[in-house]
């Protein structure tokens, strides 16, 4: 796009996603009408995707500090101290809109973008995770989207040589018109070699490195800040195209240069490309930047300043280099066969000045561009509470045996094995993966040490929809439980806040409620937020997704030479113990979703309440069991309840179990499939000692059975073979994807 200030009509302003009021603010800041390139820069920097204008007010309520937090939200990724002179650097972000339009490239470039966020801070990425949500399997687009997204994640991550070690895949009708692709990367750096993005040093060179700039991805940030309609496929040109082989070269070149003393500041070119990277570097450093756009490496002819600044071409970085180090830096990047171009300098003007063809095409004061970006406390209404659903009411009209119910649950899209997905990812490359996908959390050794990171992602959107506060608490608490079940000490989270249109008060109410619940859980569990991403406008034709605040958690295992039980049964004739209180809560459960005969009951009731004090007490107790070697297996109880957790442990270990129903007033199906929180299933060779320790700690615990055989039996005469269970569990997803 080209043009002058005279071309800026109300229609052009609207096309750039700015409201009339926001454009008036632009006029005030500039003191004149903007040129088209300047308007484009305001447009992307003030988009929801870059400015967080609808969410900043609420995000400030999240706890972000702890003694081990080195850098919280505001940089490319969060940084925590993991001891031994090492830091863990991690973040999760979304590529939802691009992935719906073009699933392979959308997902692939989502992986590439989050990798750059991590290695731009000096970390070598050691693990990838993802949280994927698709529409109902019957929807005509779902199979295509699943296949494309999984192939894109695997294609990019595998080529990069970074293991993809776990994640989530869920299906729900709310995602029919707007899937979610949330990618997470974890990296490790030396604590004294962490790089930040604040530009400094008047006159220092600003350097462009990586791939050449093309026209792909222009207005990608703006596209990601608007809801879809029936014509969304026309936005395919705004989806970036990735090249993982170039990204690998860029990673190695950046890390090689980071080993020197040449870099003052570095920033990846993600959303809004050269615009956001230069503005953020300038603003954080309190300096100005001047570019000659004729020096930017381009791969397409006759690119305008507007296109160069707004392109979201992949595999690119922007750096400020120390004086006299330019030639050394150039030699490194040319060795790796990457572009290296000095395109400008740091100035003392606090302005972004762009020249092209010897003319100034942009001159914007940076501080107000950032500080005066719109920030809205949008109107919101709380989500009306759902009534608690008594077990007897939930089970009215349900006539099914526990064994038949279990088989149906583990063979459903909600709970079936995700093996078809993760087998397409290289999860063993680099040789440090200790625990593969499929358990509560992945475990990756810190290279060259006897310590390891535990990594997980989690969220239960149906809970968040019914009660955002409880859902927000539960998302954080379950991530904490997943880490705890491995024996790891949970340290911090990254979040990916996926919601519908924030201009609808009920959607903002969901956002506000989830933030409230998340904040409470983070404080209660000493589990701060150190990075994250907000993705709004996830809806099509006014129909929004379920509120989905995806949580990525990281914990530390101090010594992998000690006990490290997993979720698999390890031996026969061991006692099975349930930790935590069971009330048989079936509201919003997977059991009701699949088994309720009455459609009004399938998604009825309040979600299970989250007692954060109980979460902390029970979790700390379980972590002690694991690290002390008193538990031979451990698995948290989540979707599907106790019997699903036991079945997953049996399938993982190839050992059956005999489960004894407790002598209480709860209906058997409620006790077996209720989704009460703060619970774990453990196995032990000393049940009496474990139960005594639990009683002393004030932790509810009961023995519920013993391991052994090749059959899972519940009560008297209610059995299913592990082979039948495995066929159901492993069969659905490959069968679905093989269907033409």
Q: SS3 of 237, please?
A: helix
Query: Is 125 in contact with 119 (CB distance < 8 Å)?
Result: yes
Pairing of strands 701-707, 575-579: antiparallel
**Residue position matching structure tokens 């940084």:** 79
Q: What is the length of the chain?
A: 740
**Angle made by CA atoms 324, 329, 335, in degrees to the nearest 5:** 145
Q: What is the mean pLDDT of each run of 10 residues along the chain (740 residues)?
A: 65 94 97 96 93 96 98 97 98 95 95 96 98 97 98 96 97 97 98 97 98 84 58 58 93 97 94 93 98 97 95 94 97 98 98 97 97 96 96 92 97 97 95 92 97 98 98 98 98 98 97 98 98 95 94 97 95 98 97 87 94 98 97 98 98 98 92 98 98 98 98 92 98 93
pLDDT (0 to 100) of residue 716: 82
Structure tokens, 280: 């953020």
| Cα Rg of the chain, angstroms | 26
Q: Rounded to whole angstroms, how far apart are CA atoms 691 and 111? A: 45
In angstroms, what CA-CA distances link 610 with 50, 256, 524, 606?
33, 47, 12, 12
Q: Rounded to whole angstroms, how far apart are CA atoms 674 and 191? A: 44
**Residue position matching structure tokens 């800026």:** 8
The DSSP H or E segment spanning 619 is helix 612-628
Q: Rounded to whole angstroms, how far apart are CA atoms 170 and 545? A: 13
377, with CB counted inside 10 A (0-12, 13-18, 19+), is exposed
- What are the two backbone dihedrals, phi and then psi, of residue 445, each rounded to the nearest 5 degrees? -65, 140
Structure tokens, 496: 């990916």
In this structure, what DSSP letter does residue 545 have?
P
The DSSP H or E segment spanning 578 is strand 575-579
Q: Rounded to whole angstroms, how far apart are CA atoms 237 and 209? A: 24
- What are the two backbone dihedrals, phi and then psi, of residue 186, each rounded to the nearest 5 degrees? -120, 130
Q: Rounded to whole angstroms, how far apart are CA atoms 670 and 581? A: 13
pLDDT (0 to 100) of residue 702: 98
In this structure, what DSSP letter does residue 236 have?
G
First CA to last CA across the chain, in angstroms? Answer: 42
Q: Rounded to whole angstroms, how far apart are CA atoms 280 and 282? A: 5
Q: Rounded to whole angstroms, how far apart are CA atoms 477 and 525? A: 8
Neighbours of 447 (CB within 10 A): 12
**Angle made by CA atoms 646, 649, 654, in degrees to the nearest 5:** 120
Three-class SS string for 180-199? EEEEEEEEEEECCCCCCCCC
What's the CA dihedral at 72, 109, 734, 435 to 10 degrees?
A: -40
In angstroms, what CA-CA distances link 364 with 37, 287, 289, 368?
10, 13, 10, 9
Report residue 227 CA to chain centroid gap: 20
Q: Rounded to whole angstroms, how far apart are CA atoms 222 and 311? A: 12
Alpha helices in 286-354 (DSSP H): 305-310, 326-335
Residues 6+ apart with CB under 8 A from 506: 380, 381, 383
In this structure, what DSSP letter does residue 295 have?
G
Q: Rounded to whole angstroms, how far apart are CA atoms 491 and 557? A: 11
Structure tokens, 502: 């924030």
Which sequence positions are flagged as catalytic? Answer: 49, 95
In angstroms, what CA-CA distances link 313 with 99, 109, 560, 572?
16, 10, 41, 56
Q: How many CA atoms lie within 13 A of 715 on its CB side?
A: 13
Report residue 93 CA to chain centroid gap: 6
Q: Which residues of 556-570 are buried (b: 16+ CB within 10 A; e: fewer)?
A: bbeebeeebbbbbbe
Residues 6+ apart with CB under 8 A from 538: 96, 97, 178, 180, 227, 498, 499, 500, 544, 545
Taking every pair of Cα atoms in the chain, the longest distance, rounded to a whole number of angstroms, is 86
Q: Rounded to whole angstroms, how far apart are CA atoms 310 and 43? A: 10
pLDDT (0 to 100) of residue 3: 44
- Our separate counts of H helices and E strands in the chain read 27, 28
- What are the two backbone dihedrals, phi and then psi, of residue 596, each rounded to the nearest 5 degrees? -65, 130
pTM exceeding the 0.85 threshold for the entire prediction: yes
Q: Rounded to whole angstroms, how far apart are CA atoms 200 and 207? A: 13
Neighbours of 348 (CB within 10 A): 10
pLDDT (0 to 100) of residue 6: 54
Q: Rounded to whole angstroms, how far apart are CA atoms 354 and 374? A: 24
Query: Is 495 in contact with 543 (CB distance < 8 Å)?
Result: no
Structure tokens, 1: 């796009």
Q: Rounded to whole angstroms, how far apart are CA atoms 525 and 299? A: 50
Report residue 176 CA to chain centroid gap: 20
pLDDT (0 to 100) of residue 228: 57
pLDDT (0 to 100) of residue 229: 59
The DSSP H or E segment spanning 232 is none
**Residue position matching structure tokens 């302005």:** 351
Query: Is 617 in contact with 697 (CB distance < 8 Å)?
Result: yes
């Amino acid at each position: 796009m080209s043009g002058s200030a005279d071309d800026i009509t109300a229609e052009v302003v609207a096309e750039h996603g700015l409201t009339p009021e926001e454009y008036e603010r632009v006029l005030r800041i500039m003191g004149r009408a903007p040129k088209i390139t300047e308007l484009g820069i305001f447009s992307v920097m003030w988009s929801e995707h870059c400015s967080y204008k609808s969410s900043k007010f609420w995000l400030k309520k999240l706890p972000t500090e702890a003694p081990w937090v080195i850098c919280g939200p505001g940089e490319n990724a969060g940084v925590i101290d993991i001891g031994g002179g090492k830091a863990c650097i991690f973040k999760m972000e979304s590529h939802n809109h691009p992935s719906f339009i073009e699933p392979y490239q959308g997902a692939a470039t989502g992986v590439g973008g989050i990798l750059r966020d991590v290695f731009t801070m000096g970390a070598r990425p050691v693990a990838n995770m993802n949280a994927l949500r698709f529409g109902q399997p019957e929807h005509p687009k779902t199979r295509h989207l699943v296949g494309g997204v999984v192939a894109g994640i695997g294609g990019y991550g595998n080529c990069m040589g970074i293991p993809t070690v776990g994640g989530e895949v869920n299906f729900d009708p709310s995602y029919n018109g707007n899937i979610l692709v949330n990618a997470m990367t974890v990296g490790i750096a030396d604590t004294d070699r962490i790089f930040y993005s604040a530009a400094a040093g008047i006159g220092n060179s600003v350097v462009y490195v990586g791939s050449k700039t093309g026209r792909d991805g222009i207005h990608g940030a703006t596209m990601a800040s608007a809801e879809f309609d029936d014509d969304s496929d026309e936005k395919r040109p705004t989806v970036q195209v990735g090249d993982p082989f170039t990204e690998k070269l860029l990673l190695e070149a950046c890390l090689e240069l980071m080993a020197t003393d040449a870099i003052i500041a570095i920033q990846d070119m993600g959303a809004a490309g050269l615009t956001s990277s230069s503005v953020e570097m300038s603003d954080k450093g309190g300096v100005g930047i001047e570019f000659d756009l004729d020096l930017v490496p381009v791969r397409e002819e006759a690119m305008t300043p507007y296109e160069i600044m707004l392109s979201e071409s992949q595999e690119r970085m922007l750096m400020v280099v120390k004086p006299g180090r330019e030639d050394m830096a150039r030699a490194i990047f040319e060795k790796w066969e990457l572009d290296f171009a000095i395109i400008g300098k740091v100035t003392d003007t606090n302005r972004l000045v762009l020249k092209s063809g010897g003319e100034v095409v942009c001159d914007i004061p940076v501080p107000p561009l950032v500080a005066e970006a719109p920030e809205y406390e949008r109107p919101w209404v709380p989500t009306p509470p759902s009534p608690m659903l008594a077990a007897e009411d939930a089970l009215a009209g349900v006539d099914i045996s526990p064994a038949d119910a279990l088989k149906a649950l583990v063979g459903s899209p909600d709970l079936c094995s995700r093996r078809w997905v993760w087998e397409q990812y290289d999860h063993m490359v680099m040789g440090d993966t200790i625990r593969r996908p499929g358990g509560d959390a992945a475990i990756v050794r810190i290279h060259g040490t006897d310590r390891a990171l535990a990594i997980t992602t989690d969220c239960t959107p149906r809970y968040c929809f019914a009660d955002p506060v409880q859902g927000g608490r539960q998302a954080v608490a379950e991530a904490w439980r997943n880490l705890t079940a491995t024996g790891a000490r949970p340290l911090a989270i990254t979040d990916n806040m996926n919601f519908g249109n924030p201009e609808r008060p009920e959607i903002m109410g969901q956002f506000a409620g989830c933030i409230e619940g998340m904040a409470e859980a983070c404080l209660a569990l000493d589990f701060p937020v150190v990075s994250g991403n907000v993705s709004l406008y996830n809806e099509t034709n006014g129909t929004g997704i379920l509120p989905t605040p995806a949580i990525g958690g990281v914990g530390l295992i101090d010594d992998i030479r000690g006990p490290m039980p997993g979720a698999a049964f390890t031996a026969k004739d061991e006692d099975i113990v349930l930790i935590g209180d069971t009330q048989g809560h079936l509201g919003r459960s997977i059991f009701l979703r699949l088994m309720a005969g009455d459609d009004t009951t399938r998604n009825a009731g309040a979600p299970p309440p989250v007692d954060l004090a109980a979460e902390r007490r029970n979790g700390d107790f379980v972590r002690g069991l694991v690290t002390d070697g008193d538990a031979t297996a451990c698995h948290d109880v989540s979707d599907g309840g106790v019997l699903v957790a036991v079945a997953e442990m049996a399938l993982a270990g190839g050992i059956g179990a005999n489960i004894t129903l407790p002598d209480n007033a709860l209906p058997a199906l409620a006790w077996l499939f209720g989704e009460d929180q703060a619970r774990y299933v453990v196995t032990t060779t000393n049940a009496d000692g474990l139960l005594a320790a639990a009683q002393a700690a004030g932790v509810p615990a009961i023995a519920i059975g013993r391991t052994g055989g090749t059959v899972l039996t519940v009560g008297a005469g209610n059995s299913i073979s592990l082979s039948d269970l495995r066929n159901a569990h492993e069969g659905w997803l490959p069968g679905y994807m093989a269907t033409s």
